[in-house]
Amino acid sequence: MGDSESPEDVQLEARLEEQEAFEPPESFVEQANVSDEAIYDEFAENWPDCWERAADLLDWEEEYDAVLDDSNEPFYEWFTDGKLNASANCLDRHVADGRGDEAAIEWVGELGETRTYTYAELLDEVEEFAAALRDLGVEEDDVVTMYMPMIPELPVAMLACARIGAPHSVVFAGFSADALATRMNSADSEYLVTCDGYYRRGDALDHKDKADEGLSGVDHGVDTVVVDRLGDDLDHDLGDGQHDYDDLVAEHEGASVDPVTRDAEDMLFLMYTSGTTGEPKGVKHTTGGYLSYVSWTSQAVLDIEADDTYWCSADIGWITGHSYIVYGPLALGTTSVMYEGTPDYPEKDRLWEIIEEYGVDIFYTAPTAIRAFMKWGKEYPAEHDLSSLRLLGTVGEPINPRAWKWYYKHIGNEECPIVDTWWQTETGGMMVTTLPGVNTMKPGSAGPPLPGVDAKVIHPNKAEVDPGQAGHLTVQKPWPGMLRTLYKNDERFVSEYWAEYSDADEDEWIYFPEDGAKIDDDGYITVLGRVDDVLNVSGHRLGTMEIESAIVGVEGVAEAAVVGGDHEMKGEAVYAYVITEDGYEEGDDLRDRIVEGVEDAIGPIARPEQVVFTPELPKTRSGKIMRRLLEDIANDDDLGDTSTLRNPDVVDDIQAKVGDD
């Protein structure tokens, strides 16, 4: 028992450890936006017209003729012939309703600077920048690329593009210059909005050099707008075709730009995501279906109200930031928090400090971050008043039960429901999760499909799996937030997402997101990770996520990554890379408990061949574990380029550890 832990604390931890289901508090249910379980039956019986409920959250300039046009499957169209503008739905209508003085964005900078944009102020700057973009030559349907960190000018630029009918393509600021060039060439994008630099852990990073390097690889002319984020901390020069953001906005001060009427099926944005062939895929999202879907899921799952202060800690460079920092929350008229920095700078309580200072009601973050919070220790959130919180969420990957319970207890004080949400870039918004005012929560399981979402776990022969069995997660009916195609590549769209299980002759179209999952007796889905994250040990297929969850369930383990290594007898063997919690020692005792935990949870077939303790795991700048490198280490293969890692030095340390073991 730690010095600070009372017998009551220990008993509470033990009770939480044993508990497998949690009910939402009555006080939450009473105020929830959705609290009637009949919604599942209503959506099923009234499908697809049930999605009118989502469309009703928006203002339409012209009403749609039909909810769904499925005459050209799988190129589905939603809210056909409806007309609207996303920028007007996120800004103008709230100002017109007398809410212009209410905060739209609360921005917190890395160094502690803050900026508040009211809805009226945000609308003014969006109009000014929209006018500037038009003067630069941006026309309707031109793709504008954005290569920016978490600064307010990014959502301003997105909404300005939406206002004039120009789709945006946001490239994560941590991506390389080559990645920027590849995406701009693919999109035929002749316009770039970027910045001079940004701060990371207190240091000023030069971003413009990287952007300029990327531009040198673009095979056509580009007009570039540069935001001055760093001021005197970084001098920068503007080259030919480059313009200062502040100068452009000042030149168009007071400009009024009417929102361009867009068809529901007109493209709102492109988002490039990694492809199995190495060529990134330009996922196309449209205005009516996407905006209605993220608005509805923000309201029903995140329980967002206009008077909330809501914080999604993702980066806008990813789909989570598009859907649940910008479009969903602002369409509902809430206050959305943006944070530029990292969770542990200047101290490990930075996020809890922000929640306390701003009275955040809803907090939506990633399991990767939660595992880091666990590793740092519960004393950091305990130093702050987090009582404003009423709902917690997770996104990005499955969360193991141990991390879920830590989050529930130490951040939510056992009073906040947790929504564990499964979705992806291509789905636009959440697909599988509990409704917090309706469902029991089961740590480790995302939950049932959302109302109106026909998600099933199936065998390769298309038969549904029995409860407890693993299979492929599929979606068997379209939904409004879905991607429409891959940019200029309809053939790849069909082959990557629909070809596995669809039968055009039978008029049967099944969407396969390439995730494995299992389902329980209550219809709750547990996502096991990508189907390519599957090990074949002596002919048995084992999901890496399932093994990792078993390892992290062992007391003293903060984080784990599992990969397959070549094995003469088994074909593949399980290699586990493990980070310990503070206060726990590496060694044979913990290693034995890890092996025992895996065998108890899954069986002897999943027994790790080797357990390697490491202070860190190799991660990309977005926080994704680079399992490929861990496989290479396990197999003693050449590691290739590690420069894109956030922590490249850790690879040598892990190699040395494996050699010592």
pLDDT at 278 > cutoff 80: no
Using one digit for the tens of pLDDT, what is the confidence trace for 388-409? 999 999 998 888 898 999 999 9
Q: Which residues are 608's β-sheet partners? A: 574
Which pLDDT does position 528 carry in this prediction? Answer: 82
Nearest Cα to Cα of residue 516 among 526, 525, 501, 529: 529
Nearest Cα to Cα of residue 425 among 623, 282, 312, 310: 282
Q: d(Cα 165, Cα 176) in Å, to the nearest integer?
A: 28
Q: d(Cα 391, Cα 297) in Å, to the nearest integer?
A: 14
Question: Three-state SS string across 53-86, please?
Answer: HHHCCCCCCECCCEEEECCCCCCCEEEECCEECH
Radius of gyration of the chain (CA): 24
Which pLDDT does position 635 carry in this prediction? Answer: 85
297 backbone φψ class: left, alpha, beta (φ>0; ψ -120 to 50): alpha
Give the strand pairing for 391-395 and 418-421: parallel
12-16, 161-165, 303-307, 366-370: least confidently modelled range: 12-16
Q: What is the DSSP letter of 327?
A: I
Give the strand pairing for 191-195 and 144-148: parallel
Which pLDDT does position 309 carry in this prediction? Answer: 98
Average pLDDT over residues 453-466: 94
Q: d(Cα 449, Cα 435) in Å, to the nearest integer?
A: 10
CA 553, chain centre distance (Å): 24
Which pLDDT does position 3 carry in this prediction? Answer: 43
Nearest Cα to Cα of residue 545 among 375, 378, 365, 396: 396
Which residues neighbour 16 within 8 Å (Cβ) at sequence distance 6 or greater? 405, 408, 409
345 backbone φψ class: left, alpha, beta (φ>0; ψ -120 to 50): beta
Which pLDDT does position 539 carry in this prediction? Answer: 64
- Residues 107 and 77: beta-carbon distance below 8 Å: no
> DSSP string of 242-305?
EEEHHHHHHHTTT---PPPPEETTSEEEEEEE--TTSSPEEEEEEHHHHHHHHHHHHHHTS---
Which pLDDT does position 606 carry in this prediction? Answer: 85
Which pLDDT does position 648 carry in this prediction? Answer: 76
Q: Which residues are 114's β-sheet partners? A: 108
Query: Percent of the chain scored above 90 by pLDDT?
Result: 73
11-25, 72-86, 182-196: least confidently modelled range: 11-25
Using one digit for the tens of pLDDT, what is the confidence trace for 486-535? 999 999 999 999 999 999 888 999 999 988 899 999 999 999 877 777 77
Q: What is the DSSP letter of 437?
A: T
Nearest Cα to Cα of residue 600 among 524, 555, 547, 559: 547
Q: Which amino acid is at 249?
A: V
201 versus 152: the higher-pLDDT residue is 152
447: which 2 tokens? 């939950």
pTM of the model: 0.86
pLDDT at 2 > cutoff 60: no
488: which 2 tokens? 């200029």
Domains identified in the chain and CATH numbers: 533-660 (3.30.300.30)
Buried-exposed string 401-428: b where 16+ CB fall within 10 A, e elsewhere: bbbbbbbbbbbbeeebbbbbbbbbbbbb
Which residues neighbour 193 within 8 Å (Cβ) at sequence distance 6 or greater? 144, 145, 146, 147, 148, 153, 157, 224, 225, 227, 245
Which pLDDT does position 175 carry in this prediction? Answer: 82
- Residues 421 and 432: beta-carbon distance below 8 Å: yes
Nearest Cα to Cα of residue 352 among 389, 319, 327: 389
Cα–Cα distances in Å, from 456 out to 258, 425, 626, 652? 44, 19, 29, 42
Which pLDDT does position 641 carry in this prediction? Answer: 64
Q: d(Cα 124, Cα 291) in Å, to the nearest integer?
A: 22
CB atoms within 10 A of CB 321: 22
Using one digit for the tens of pLDDT, what is the confidence trace for 236-258? 999 899 999 999 999 999 999 99
Which pLDDT does position 460 carry in this prediction? Answer: 86
Q: What is the DSSP letter of 92?
A: I
Give the strand pairing for 103-108 and 335-339: parallel
Specify the DSSP element, H or E, that contains 471. strand 470-475
The H-assigned helical ranges of 518-618 are: 544-552, 588-601
Q: d(Cα 165, Cα 138) in Å, to the nearest integer?
A: 9
Which pLDDT does position 1 carry in this prediction? Answer: 36
3-state helix vs strand vs coil in the chain, percent to 5:
35, 25, 40
Q: d(Cα 330, Cα 298) in Å, to the nearest integer?
A: 10
pLDDT at 660 > cutoff 70: no
Q: d(Cα 539, Cα 533) in Å, to the nearest integer?
A: 15
Which pLDDT does position 9 carry in this prediction? Answer: 60
Which pLDDT does position 277 carry in this prediction? Answer: 47
Q: d(Cα 162, Cα 283) in Å, to the nearest integer?
A: 17
78-87, 560-569, 646-655: least confidently modelled range: 646-655
pLDDT at 214 > cutoff 80: yes
- At 276, is the pLDDT very low, low, confident or very high (cuts 50, 70, 90)? very low
Q: d(Cα 610, Cα 597) in Å, to the nearest integer?
A: 14
Q: Decide: helix, strand or coil at residue 631.
A: helix
Cα–Cα distances in Å, from 194 out to 186, 209, 317, 466? 18, 11, 12, 50
Q: d(Cα 651, Cα 235) in Å, to the nearest integer?
A: 34
Q: Give the dihedral of Cα atoms 361, 364, 369, 372; nearest 10 deg.
A: 30
Q: Give the dihedral of Cα atoms 431, 437, 440, 441; nearest 10 deg.
A: 60
Average pLDDT over residues 100-115: 97
- At 568, is the pLDDT very low, low, confident or very high (cuts 50, 70, 90)? confident
260 versus 367: the higher-pLDDT residue is 260
- Mean pLDDT for the chain overall: 92
Nearest Cα to Cα of residue 311 among 236, 378, 365: 365
Which residues neighbour 642 within 8 Å (Cβ) at sequence distance 6 or greater? 618, 629, 648, 651
